[in-house]
Amino acid sequence: MISSYLPGRTFLHRIGAGWKLLALLLVSMVLLPVDSPLVLAAVLACALGLLASLGSGAGTVLRSLKPVAFVVVFILALHGLFGTLEAGVIVALRLASLLLLATLITLTTRLDDMLDTLTPVLRPVALVGLSERRLALAIALAIRFTPMLVDVTRQLNEAYRARSGRNGHVKLVAPLCLHALNAADHIAEALAARGGVDGCPPESTDGEEDKVRR
Amino acid sequence: MSVSTSQFAIFDSVTLTRGAFCVFRGLSLALSERRVALVGLNGSGKSSLLRMLNGLLLPDEGTVTVFGLDSRKDQRKLPRHVGMVFQNPDHQMIFPTVLEELAFAPRQMGATRGEAEAMARQTLAQHGCGDWAEQPVALLSEGQKQLVCLLAASISKPRLLLCDEPFSGLDLSLRLHFADHIAASPAHVVMVSHDLDMLSEFDRIIWLDKGSVVGDGRPEDILPDYRSFARARARKLTADSL
């Protein structure tokens, strides 16, 4: 789920990324064995309370969760058809609470806070030859370019509609790939102009700056 | 070639080929002025010349020296001293939020995250956009994006700022605004631009054609000739030669 950061200074924004992630981990572990619909409903109510604390941003969050809501309803319906409705309600409540909490954390935590918190966890990637810095940059680029690619798709579709009157659908895939590759070329150049993935070598030869960066 | 202290960049017998195409053959040039503009038709080598000043392109023969650094040997050190503003902000911004975008350069130079962010916030506040810090870059207007790019390129106080057609996506009021911004920069500036009105205050205009310097001097001496050259060329253009 790549959802952008919701700017603001609410209660949730002010809690450290580490605490939020730890709390989510604990809540997930505690909720798994719980199968009382009342307790689960109370947890969902708390999550909705936190959502309300975002103020005007709450509506945006709910809208962004629409596709997820369909999945939850689908699971509920499956249980209703092939199992018991009660089991469906339990699963749906549990899933909805956790998804809402996870989304709230994503939306109220800046990317680099999240990455700094996750860096110790990501450390094992160094074993397969990937630096944490590179991985962090890759994640940042993915989040940065998702809205851009959505925008390019819309523009391509407009160009297609202007000449055919219909939506382009699958015909836009090839041009979209070309645009993505072109954007990748440009951003690679911009990154190189700014010192590249590994940063500028220190000016002094005593290597002090080096320690700070790596 | 004699090296005077005021010369910040020296091209010495530079030959550059891109694919099968020879962009420069034996180009020698020394830059010392505070404001230098490169003009010329498409494909004349302006952008290539600019990209040799920060090591994005390396000469096949000859040397490019910027602030005493050889672009081939010290390629990775150059970005510390040379900032670059690109034509399209969407191709330049690497990070999802404004703060991260600005903090990137100081962190590249070795600052800690705290220092880098403090610097970024201070720069934003100085330019009247302190409340942009947490904004996603995708939601900024074109003018705001270009300001973020300019601030991101100048936050680490480069001694040379390269601008590759920085005005092309901007309306006239924004162009004038950014021309003032760039004029106020304490760094040397080398700019590629097709907007000749923006170049009248520059110290030196270098006119390139097919990889050769065909005009070099003050704006009032070079720009009128370049204008009439472009006008004469425009009349001769056919669809094939576009």
Nearest to A144 among B84, B93, B112 (CB): B93
Smallest CA–CA distance, residue B194 to chain A, in Å, is: 21
Question: Is residue B44 over pLDDT 90?
Answer: yes
Instruction: State the pLDDT at residue A122.
Output: 72
Structure tokens at B178: 């950014």
Q: What is the mean pLDDT of residues B31-49?
A: 94
Write out the H or E segment, with its range, that includes residue A37.
helix A37-52
Smallest CA–CA distance, residue A28 to chain B, in Å, is: 29
Which residue, among B71, B107, B108, would best test binding to A if mutated, counting the most A CBs under 10 Å from its CB?
B108
* In chain B, alpha helices (H): 46-52, 89-92, 98-108, 113-126, 142-154, 172-184, 219-236
Q: Do A191 and B111 touch (CB under 8 A)?
A: no
CB contacts < 8 A (A, B): 105
Return d(Cα B204, Cα B228) in angstroms, integer: 19
Question: Is residue A213 over pLDDT 50?
Answer: no
Share above pLDDT 70 across residues of chain A, in percent, rounded to a whole number? 93
Q: How confident is the model at residue A204 (pLDDT cuts 50, 70, 90)?
A: low
Q: What is the mean pLDDT of residues B102-109?
A: 90
Q: Do A111 and B136 touch (CB under 8 A)?
A: no
Q: Do B76 and A111 touch (CB under 8 A)?
A: no
Residue B10, SS3 per DSSP: strand
* In A58-201, alpha helices (H): 58-64, 66-82, 85-108, 111-122, 132-164, 173-193
> pLDDT of A79-100, one tens digit each?
888 888 888 899 899 989 988 8
Instruction: State the pLDDT at residue B1.
Output: 45
Do A172 and A156 form a contact (C-beta atoms < 8 A)?
yes
Average pLDDT of chain B?
A: 91
Nearest to A209 among B99, B104, B110 (CB): B110
Average pLDDT of chain A?
A: 81
Question: Is residue A10 over pLDDT 90?
Answer: no
Q: What is the mean pLDDT of residues A59-73?
A: 81
A166's CB contacts (< 8 A; 6+ apart) are A160
Do B158 and B193 form a contact (C-beta atoms < 8 A)?
no
Return d(Cα A81, Cα B61) in angstroms, integer: 75
Which residue, among B51, B71, B98, B109, would best test binding to A if mutated, counting the most A CBs under 10 Å from its CB?
B109
Query: CA of B110: which chain A residue's CA is closest?
Result: A213
Which residue, among A144, A154, A189, would best test binding to B if mutated, counting the most B CBs under 10 Å from its CB?
A144
Question: Is residue A209 over pLDDT 50?
Answer: no
Return d(Cα B9, Cα B69) in angstroms, integer: 9
A88's CB contacts (< 8 A; 6+ apart) are A75, A76, A77, A78, A79, A80
Q: Do A203 and B77 touch (CB under 8 A)?
A: yes
ipTM at complex level: 0.78
B82-85 and B69-70 strand pairing: unpaired
* Residue with tokens 């998702």, as numbered in its chain: A146
Smallest CA–CA distance, residue B6 to chain A, in Å, is: 21
Smallest CA–CA distance, residue A138 to chain B, in Å, is: 10
Q: What's the sign of the alpha-carbon dihedral A112, A115, A119, A120?
A: positive
Question: Is residue A206 over pLDDT 60?
Answer: no
Return d(Cα B144, Cα B163) in angstroms, integer: 17
A137: which chain B residues are within 8 Å (Cβ-Cβ)?
A: 94
Residue B175 vs residues A40, B45, B53, B169: alpha-carbon distances, Å: 57, 24, 24, 9
Which residue, among B47, B53, B100, would best test binding to A if mutated, counting the most A CBs under 10 Å from its CB?
B100
Question: Is residue B63 over pLDDT 70?
Answer: yes
> pLDDT of A103-114, one tens digit each?
888 888 877 777
Query: Quick check: pTM over 0.90?
Result: no
Do B208 and B46 form a contact (C-beta atoms < 8 A)?
yes
List, as ranges, residues 24-53 from B with C-beta within 8 Å of A.
Answer: none
Instruction: State the pLDDT at residue A133.
Output: 76
B69-70 and B61-66 strand pairing: antiparallel
User: Listing from the earlier edge strand, what are the strands of the sheet with B21-31?
Assistant: B21-31, B9-18, B61-66, B69-70
> pLDDT of A167-176, one tens digit each?
888 888 888 8
Q: Do A186 and B88 touch (CB under 8 A)?
A: yes
